[in-house]
Structure 1
Amino acid sequence: MTGRSTNPTYAVEGHGLVKTFGDFRAVDGIDIAVPAGAIYGVLGPNGAGKTTTLRMLLGIIDPDEGHRTLLGSDRPLSVAAQVGYLPEERGLYPSMKAAEAIAFMGALRGLPLKIGRDRARAMMEAHGMADAADKKVRELSKGMAQTVQLFGTLVHEPRLIVLDEPFSGLDAINQGKLEALIREQARRGVTILFSTHVIAHAERLCERIAIIAGGRIRFEGTVGEARDRLRPQVRLSTRVSDGSWRRALPADTVAENGAWHFSLPEEGIEPLLRALIDGQAGIESLSIERPGLHDAFVAIAGEAAAQAMAGATSASEEDA
């Protein structure tokens, strides 16, 4: 099968993707569609199938079942020059100078070396790294070396950028710089697809996410849609500790740290407010908190997956 996608609004599509290694089914029937121009995150613990999925979408490996299209083509390698890919396994020649390393990575995608060198120095200068342009990669800090590799992923000005665990091993400052770079590319209309086990990055950056666990997509949609799967939580503090108004509190109400905690009733907060006021409960404070993406992830993928994510995040922070 050759040709173009029937839906050009998607930069990346995968349908029924399956990949097995020996007796291990790493990816088990994944469907994914990344809108053109979006920042899209694939969120899940290590071993969930994120990297295998990205590699199938890029054409690095072929699926055992299913099909995929990349930038409108069902032959992903034919559009490789329009893609920037940062694999999870980082790799630069340690004896190569930083600017040359960036230009070399661009040349692998068809960018002339002279243009690559000029762009490399301009990118490094724009991000406060001009002094490092002529340093050898082995002389750079870990964060700076990863930034150089990221520049090499961007230097040929791709239409699609695919980043596999891009925040791994970076300290908070360099993570912030990477987030800024991702937003900068998105403003140019570039599609960003990245995998991560860090929920906070997906919550801050992504327009849409796919939550993956056990080789399957457990959720696909916007961050808001994921959070809306859980009802908002209410914290209520009253001057009076008992009275007829207590019967109006929802069944899941618990008392904790001097306040009442419960899920927002389906009918809204207004009927409860009336009961509290009529019963002279003496409202001191009332706040409604929308669940975060972490809470939604636990509800969708399970506590075990969330704990695996937290463990991987802690290990990554220790390496930074």
Structure 2
Amino acid sequence: MPALVIDHLVKTYGDVRALDDISFTVEAGELFGFVGANGAGKTTAMRIALGVLRADSGTVTWDGSPIDLARRSRIGYMPEERGLYPRMKVGEQLVYLARLHGMGRADAERAMAHWTEVLGVADRRDDAVEKLSLGNQQRVQLASALVHGPEILVLDEPFSGLDPVAVGVMSEVLRGEAARGVPVIFSSHQLELVEQLCDRVGIVRSGRLVASGGIDELTALERPRWTLEADLPAAWTPGVPGVTAARVSERMWSVEAADAAAAPAVLASAVQSGRVTSFVPNRPTLTELFRDVVAEPEGEAA
């Protein structure tokens, strides 16, 4: 299965630079989380990848070739805004969309039956989309992206409005698609979910990709932190250059350093000052990394 390569995309709207030289690759079988604040440029990048928008410069390729109309028909896209016909029945709509992608009627019917069953809306096949709850509409929206057996999935906020059960179902579906070799890129503000699901993450700010890599790789960029549990004087300080300590509770301390090599000296200082119960690394979460990387004044790109 080919890879999706986003290479040096630039997109402007008047004086607003919506995308500023963004590059990243989504490999076959990889779940790539694309995160950023509202207006950071995520949707713009996705729409260019699909050919809905044209970049001012840069390229989008699939297996080394530009994405033409035929290749575009092999992409499964789920927009953040509902893109379904509200008065059309669920089953009819999914069959119709599958056939637009080139499937025969029998195959389209089978695919519709499969995905409505998997996504828990089989009993709503004869209902108009507008009669469904927002969560079930989201399930049908995902089914519409999957029904033609896409070779790439591009999903914009696929977990929006879903209850925990539906989130679990959708997560398993995305894992399954990645397992069969599909490159999957999705945006989400649910950073804990992105951290659990994704192989790699790209963080975009004001149209620029400011961090990209695996979760462990990205969180390693943060200052080293440890949680220290000990009986220490309230005024205790590590006394180590570049190290700060904050008392979280009577026996708990949060320690931060510029260099992980400071850990032995910090521990030695604590042992000399009192009784230490534990001293463990405290890996930052993706949410903490996102907050640190993205924090900047208002007025980001659209």
| TM-score by shorter chain over 0.5 | yes
Within 5 Å, which residues of 2 pair with 1:200-239?
A: 200-239=192-231
CA displacement at 1:208 relative to structure 2: 1.1
Q: 1:295 maps to what in 2?
A: 288
CA shift digits 1:80-114 (9 cap, x unpaired): 12111111221222232211111111112111222
Q: 1:22 maps to what in 2?
A: 14
One-letter identity of the residue aligned with 2:284: P
Separation in 1, partners of 2:110, 2:12: 43
Q: 2:279 maps to what in 1?
A: 286
Within 5 Å, which residues of 2 pair with 1:169-248?
A: 169-241=161-233, 247=239
Query: For 2:65, what is the secondary structure of its paired residue?
Result: coil
Tell me if 1:162 matches 2:135.
no
CA displacement at 1:16 relative to structure 2: 1.8
Separation in 2, partners of 1:96, 1:245: 67
Q: Contact between 2:7 and 2:24, CA under 8 Å: does it hold in 1?
A: yes
TM-score, normalised relative to structure 2:
0.88
Separation in 1, partners of 2:297, 2:236: 41
Q: 2:78 maps to what in 1?
A: 86
Separation in 1, partners of 2:266, 2:140: 56
Q: 1:263 maps to what in 2?
A: 256
Within 5 Å, which residues of 2 pair with 1:66-105?
A: 66-105=58-97
Gaps of 5+ in 1: 1-8, 309-320
One-letter identity of the residue aligned with 1:43: V
TM-score, normalised relative to structure 1:
0.84
The alignment's C-alpha RMSD in Å is 2.5
One-letter identity of the residue aligned with 1:120: M
One-letter identity of the residue aligned with 2:10: V
Q: Contact between 2:178 and 2:184, CA under 8 Å: does it hold in 1?
A: yes
Separation in 2, partners of 1:40, 1:260: 35
Within 5 Å, which residues of 2 pair with 1:9-48?
A: 11-48=3-40
CA displacement at 1:138 relative to structure 2: 2.3
Query: For 1:91, what is the secondary structure of its paired residue?
Result: coil
Separation in 2, partners of 1:247, 1:75: 58
Q: Contact between 1:95 and 1:136, CA under 8 Å: does it hold in 2?
A: yes
One-letter identity of the residue aligned with 1:292: T
CA displacement at 1:196 relative to structure 2: 2.0
Tell me if 1:111 matches 2:103.
yes
Separation in 1, partners of 2:228, 2:143: 50
CA displacement at 1:242 relative to structure 2: 7.4
CA displacement at 1:293 relative to structure 2: 0.7
Q: 2:56 maps to what in 1?
A: 64
Identity across aligned pairs (percent)? 35
One-letter identity of the residue aligned with 2:289: A
Separation in 2, partners of 1:230, 1:38: 24
Q: Contact between 1:69 and 1:76, CA under 8 Å: does it hold in 2?
A: no
Change (3 A) 1:46 1:280: closer
